[in-house]
Structure 1
Amino acid sequence: MTSPVPTAAVPLRPVPGPVRLPLLGNLPAFGRDPLAFLARLRDDFGDAVTWSLGPRRSLFLSHPQHIAELLGAVEHSFDILDIGWAFKQVTGQSVILSRGADWRRKRSLVQPTVRPRQVRAYAATMTDCAREAADRWQEGERIDVRREMALITQRVVVRTLFGNDLGDRTRALGDAMEVAQREVGAELRGINLFLPAWVRTPSRRRVLGAVAVVDAEVGRLIGERRRAGAEAAQGDDLLGRLLAARDEQGLPLSAKEVRDEAVTLWAAGHETTSTLLTWIWYLLGTAPKARARLDEELGRMLGGRPPVIDDYEQLPWAQQIVKEALRVCPPVWMIPAVAREGATLGGTGVAAGTIVWCSQWTTHRDPRWFPDPTAFRPERWSPDAPDAVPDHAWFPFGGGQRTCLGARFALVEAVMVLATLAQRCTLETDPGTPGIQAGLLLQPAKTLRATVRHRGR
C-alpha cells in the first residue's frame, strides 16, 4: 500500500527563466557551468523557473516544500528521468532506473542487503580498510587525497560486496569506473545527451571499454560464486544476498539483474563516499576548531581503540561533520523527474513530459535555510541549534520512496573511516580551494594534496 503524496502549502507559480536559443535552449549555459546556472535560476528568477535543456521543456524547483512534493510523487505522477545512454551502460536496468512493478520487485529484493543489521556487520570492514591505509602512509608523505579515499572505499565495497579483496583487479575496476563516471558527467552537460544510441562518439567508445572491464570482472565473480554451489552462493556479503534473494513468486534475480544491481551498489558505494571523504578532509583543513573538537571527541569516547559500530551513535560531532560536508559539497547535486499526464505541484498543473529538476547544491546553499551558507559549520546539526532546518532543505540522498537505499551504509562508512583515520593522523591539506567540477558527482576540479602527520609519533 502506498502512502499519500505530500502536497506543498506553498503555491507553485513558475516564471520564465533566461532567454533560450533555438533548438539548444539553455543547454550551452548549463553545460559551461551547471552550478552557476542553477544558482542563477534561483537567485535571479525565483523558486520555480522554466527553462529548456536542448529541446526539452524543464522546470527548476528551489523551495523545500515543492522538492518534498516532487520526490514524494515519483512513482505516482512523476517518473525518473532517463538520463542518458552512458549512464544506462553502467547501471543497466537496475533499481535506480526501473519503474513501476519492476522497480517495486527489485527494490524488495535489494533493500534487505543494506538494512541496518547488515550495515552493522560491515562496520568492522570499514574500520579495517581505513586502518590499513593509515598504517601504509609514511610520516611527511604527500598524498592525493581523492585517490587515497578512493582506494579505501574501493576496498570496503569490494570486501562487503564480493566477500574478498580482489588485489590488483580492484584497481582495474576502480580505474574503469572512474572513466565511466567522467564520461557520464560529460554527456549530461553536452549535445551527446541527445544523440541516437547507435552513434559511437569517442566518448561513447571509452564508456564501452570501461564497462567491458567491469562486466568481465563482475561476471567472473558471479559465475564463480554460482559454480561453487548453493552454500557459497548464499554468502553473507552483498553479492551472496543478491544471489539468494527471492521475490514473492519465489523467483531469483537473473544473471543480468544481479550484474546490474552489483555494479550499481559498487559504483554508488565507492564513488559517492570517496568523494564525500575527500570534501571532508578539505573542509576540516579550513576549520581547525572543528578538527580540534573531533580530536577531543575521539580521544574521550574511544581512548585510542579502533571505533566499532556501537560507537557510531556516541560520536555526534563526527556525524555532524559528515552531515555538514554533505550540505556544503553534496556529491549528488541534482535530481530530475518527468511529469506524467495530470501531474501537479503546489496546486499547479505541470505539463506532461516536462523535466522537473531540483538541486542539492542550490538548496543546501540557500541563505533562507542556512545562514552564511558557504561556511562549514558542523554545529548547525546540533540538536539544540537555534536555526531549524526545514524538511527537504537538506536531501543528499533524495527523498520519497526512491530515497537512496545505501544512505545508512554511506553515513556509517563515512563516520567509521573518518574516525579511524583522524585517530591516527592529520592530513594537512594544501592551502587554497581545489574548485568544484560538476560531472555525475561533484568532484574537486584540481587534485587535492595533503601532507600526512601521524599522531603520537
Structure 2
Amino acid sequence: MPLTAPPLQPVRGPRGLPRPLGHLFSFGRDPLGFMTRLRDEFGDAVTWSLGPRRSLFLSHPQHIMELLAGREHTFDILDIGWAFKQITGRSVILSTGADWRRKRSLVQPTVRPRQVRAYAETMVECAGAAADAWREGERIDVREQMALITQRVVLRTLFGNDLGEQTRALGDAMETAERAVGAELRGLGLFLPGWVRTPSRRALLGAVAIIDAEVHRLIEARLSAPPGEMEQRDDLLSRLLSARDEEGEPLSPKEVRDEAVTLWAAGHETTSTALTWTVHLLSRTPQARARLEAEVDQVLAGRPPTVDDYDRLVWTQQIVKESLRLYPPAWLLPAVARPGATLGGTRVPAGTTVWCSQWTTHRDPRWFPRPDEFRPQRWDADAPDAVPDHAWFPFGGGQRTCLGARFAQVEAALILATLAQRCRLDLPAAEVAPRVTLLLQPEAPLLATVRGRARAGVH
C-alpha cells in the first residue's frame, strides 16, 4: 500500500556531547533504544551526530523509499569502518558506480530463482539431518543448531561440499568476525585508523586469516582443475569463477574471494539468526505453531518439502516474514548524501549520513497495530490493516536490494517446514532481549527441549 509522501521537515534531536563525540556514547550504549527515542520523541526526520558525522534519522516509509531508491544516484554507500571491509573486501555491497554495476551483473545470476531452485534440496537435507540427530527430551542450543544447519547449506551451495571438520572452525571464525564488526560499529573503533590494532581487531584478523586460507585453497583448486571441469560444477564458487562481464573479462581471484565471503556471511549468519528468533517466537505462540504444523502436514503429507511447495506453504512464509519484522537480522541502513540530494522535497546537505532502521520502522504502531506482538496473520492476503510499502524492508530496497533475498526466504521457509515435520522445540517462557552486534542476536543462549511429533510417512 503506497503512502502520500509528507514534506521532510528535520528537527533537532536530543542534546549530545560536543563534537567530535556527539551522540556516540548514547547510541553505543543502547542503539535500538536510542533510535526508538528519536522516532517517538522527535518525529520522522531527526538530526543527530554519530561522533563527528552530521546525521539524519528517517522513520517514514516514503522517505525511506526515496533513500533506498537513490542509493546509486544521489546517495553514496557509507564507509562503515575498517573491520567490516576485512570481511567483505570490495564486494558488490561496498562497490559503487561502474564497478558496482559490473560486479552485480556477474554475481546476480548465481542467486536467481532458477539457481535457488537447484539448491532447495540441499536446504531440506541439511535441516532433516540435524533434526534426525536430536533426541526426545534433549536440550539443544537453538542458535548453535540453526547456525550449523545454515553453515552446511551455504558451504555446500557455495563451495560444493561440506568441508568436513573445517565446518565448525570456519563457523566459529565467521562468528568472531561478526562480533568484532558489531563492536566497532557501536564505538570509537569506527573512527580509528586501520593501523590501530585493538584486541578486537587482532581477533578479527585471526578469524579472517582462517576464512581466507580455506577460500583461497578452494579457488586455487577450481582454477587448476582440468579444462571444462569447473563449468560442470553447480556450486556458487564455480559460477563466480566462470562468470564473464560484457568485455569477456572474469572476476579476479581477489574479487571472487570478496564475493564468496560476502555471500557466505550473508547466507549463513542472517538466516540462522532469523531462524533462531523464529523458534523463540513460535515457542511463545502455541496457536501459531499449531497452525504451522497443520499446514506442513496438509501440504507435505509426510514427504520432505521441495521448492515447488514453497508457494503453498503460505502460513510458513508469513511466520518467516513476521519474524523478520520483529527481529530483522540487519537492523540499520546508512547512506551519505551527495551534492544536490533531496528527500521529501527538502535538500539534504552534502556529506550528511542518512540512517533508517528496520528495527524502529518494523515496530512503528502507525504501520503495524500491536507492533510488539508476533502476529503472522497480519500478512494474510485479506488482512484489514495493509502494510505500507517500505514499512517492511529486512533486505533493503531499490537497486541495491540484497541479492540473496530470495535465497534467504526460501531457505528459511523450507528449513522451518522440515523441522516442524519432525519435532517441536520448547523454550522457557522468559523474555529474551536482542544483543546488538552487526546482526541482532539473542542476548542469552536459547536452550530448547526437543519434543517429537508423529513421524509417519516422513522419510
The TM tier, using the shorter chain, reads: over 0.9
Separation in 2 of the partners of 1:407 and 1:187? 26
Alpha-carbon separation, structure 2, partners of 1:8 and 1:372: 23
Matches within 5 A, 1:112-123: 112-123=109-120
1:198-240: CA deviations, max 9, x gaps? 1111111111100000000000011111111342322211011
**CA deviation string 1:380-425 (max 9, x = no partner):** 0010000010000000000000000000000000000000011000
Contact 2:181 2:438 (C-alpha < 8 Å) held by counterparts: yes
Alignment partners' CA distance in 1, 2:447 and 2:47: 40
Q: Out of 342, 359, 367, which is 1:361 matched to?
A: 359
- Distance in 2 separating the partners of 1:73 and 1:175: 36
Q: Separation in 1 of the partners of 2:5 and 2:130? A: 49
Correspondence 1:10 to 2:6: yes
Contact 1:7 1:69 in 2 (8 A): no
Residue identity in the other structure for 2:301: G
CA distance in 1, matches of 2:4, 2:262: 32
Partner of 2:242: 244
The equivalent position to 1:150 in structure 2, one of 130, 144, 147, is: 147
Q: Aligned partners of 1:188 and 1:216: how far apart in 2?
A: 26
Equivalent residue number for residue 318 of structure 2: 320
The alignment partner of 2:56 has SS state of strand
**CA contact 2:9–2:45 (8 Å) conserved in 1:** yes
Q: State the alpha-carbon separation in 1 of the partners of residues 74 and 47 from structure 2.
A: 19
Take 1:275 and 1:430, find their aligned partners in 2: how far apart are those partners?
Answer: 19
Q: Classify the secondary structure of the residue corresponding to 1:157.
A: helix
Contact residue 57 and residue 355 of structure 1 kept, 8 A: yes
Aligned residue identity for 2:212? D
Which of 43, 46, 50 in structure 1 is aligned with 2:43? 46
1:25 and 2:31 matched: no
Say yes or no: does 1:441 pair with 2:442.
Answer: no
Amino acid at match of 1:16: R
Deviation of the 1:168 alpha carbon: 1.0
Q: Name the SS for the 1:357 alignment partner.
A: strand
SS in 2 for 1:385: coil
Compute the TM-score of the two structures, normalised by the length of structure 2.
0.97
Q: Distance in 1 between matches of 2:50 and 2:254?
A: 32
Q: Is the 8 A contact 1:8 1:345 kept in 2?
A: no
* Secondary structure of the structure 1 residue equivalent to 2:228: helix
> Following TM superposition, by how much is the alpha carbon of 1:151 offset from its aligned partner in structure 2, in angstroms?
0.1
**Quick one: percent identity of the two aligned structures?**
73
SS at match of 2:197: coil
Q: Output the CA distance in 2 between the equivalents of 1:9 and 1:275.
A: 33
Structure 1 counterpart of 2:341: 343
> How many angstroms does 1:436 deviate by?
0.6
1:334 aligns with 2:332: yes
Structure 2 unaligned runs (5+)? none
**Residue 422 of structure 2: which of 421, 424, 430 is its match?**
424
CA distance in 1, matches of 2:431, 2:209: 35
The equivalent position to 2:171 in structure 1, one of 148, 151, 174, is: 174
**Offset of 1:378 from its aligned partner?**
0.3
Q: TM-score, normalised by structure 1?
A: 0.98
- Per-residue CA deviations over 1:98-155 (Å, capped at 9, x if unaligned) read 0000000000000000000000000000000000001111111100000000000000
- The partner residue of 1:197 within 172, 194, 198 is 194
Are residues 1:229 and 2:226 paired? yes
Matched AA of 2:33: A
**CA deviation map 1:354-374 (0-9, x unaligned):** 000000000000000000000
Superimposed CA distance per residue, residues 17-60 of structure 1 (whole angstroms, 9 cap, x where no aligned partner):
01120121000000000000000000000000000000100000
Letter in 1 for 2:37: R
Partners in 2 of 1:88 and 1:356 — Cα distance?
Answer: 20
SS in 1 for 2:336: strand
Listed one character per residue, the Cα deviations across residues 154-211 of structure 1 (whole Å, up to 9, x for unaligned) are 0000000001110111111100000000010000000011011111111111111000
Residue number in structure 2 paired with 1:71: 68
Unpaired stretches in structure 1, ≥5 consecutive residues: 1-5
* Preserved CA contact (<8 Å) 1:60 1:357: yes
Q: Which residue of structure 2 lines up, in the alignment, with residue 211 of structure 1?
A: 208
**1:187 is aligned to 2:184:** yes
The match for 1:100 is 97
1:145 is aligned with what amino acid?
Answer: V
Aligned equivalents of 2:215, 2:78: Cα separation in 1 = 26
Runs of 4+ in 1 over 2 A off after TM superposition: 6-9, 229-234
Deviations 1:235-287 (A, max 9, x none): 21101110110000000000000000000000000000000000000000111
Shift of 1:318: 0.1
From 44, 50, 55, give the equivalent of 2:52: 55
Aligned partner (choices 356, 380, 390) of residue 388 of structure 2: 390
* Residue 145 of structure 2 corresponds to residue 129 of structure 1: no
Over aligned residue pairs, what C-alpha RMSD do you find?
1.1
Match of 1:3 in 2: none
Partners of 1:214 and 1:388 in 2: CA distance = 44
Which position in structure 2 is the counterpart of 1:406? 404
What's the CA shift for 1:8? 7.1
The answer on whether the counterparts of 1:430 and 1:450 sit within 8 Å (CA) in structure 2 is yes
